[in-house]
Amino acid sequence: MQPTVADITLKDKIHFAISDIEDEKILESIYTLINYTNSQKENSTVDNEQLLILKEREANYLAGQQKGFTPEEIDSKIKGKYGF
Confidence (pLDDT) at 76: 92
Count of alpha carbons within 13 angstroms of residue 46, beta-carbon side: 10
Q: How many domains does the chain have?
A: 2
Whether residues 27 and 51 share a domain: the answer is no
Short-list 50, 51, 14, CA closest to 33: 14
Whether residues 38 and 50 share a domain: the answer is no
Confidence (pLDDT) at 25: 92
The proportion of the chain whose per-residue pLDDT surpasses 70, expressed as a percent, equals 82
State the residue range of the domain holding 1.
Answer: 1-44
Of the pLDDT bands very low, low, confident and very high (cuts 50, 70, 90), residue 4 is low
Q: What are phi and psi of 60, to 5 degrees?
A: -65, -40
Of the pLDDT bands very low, low, confident and very high (cuts 50, 70, 90), residue 10 is confident
| pLDDT tens profile 11-51 | 888 888 899 899 999 999 988 888 876 666 666 677 788 88
Whether residues 24 and 57 share a domain: the answer is no
Whether residues 84 and 58 share a domain: the answer is yes
Whether residues 56 and 75 share a domain: the answer is yes
Whether residues 51 and 67 share a domain: the answer is yes
Cα–Cα distance, 78 to 58 (Å, whole number) = 23
Confidence (pLDDT) at 3: 59
Decide: 41 and 51 in contact? Cβ < 8 Å.
no
Whether residues 11 and 29 share a domain: the answer is yes
CA 74, 78, 79: angle at the middle one, nearest 5?
Answer: 115
| pLDDT tens profile 59-72 | 988 898 988 888 99
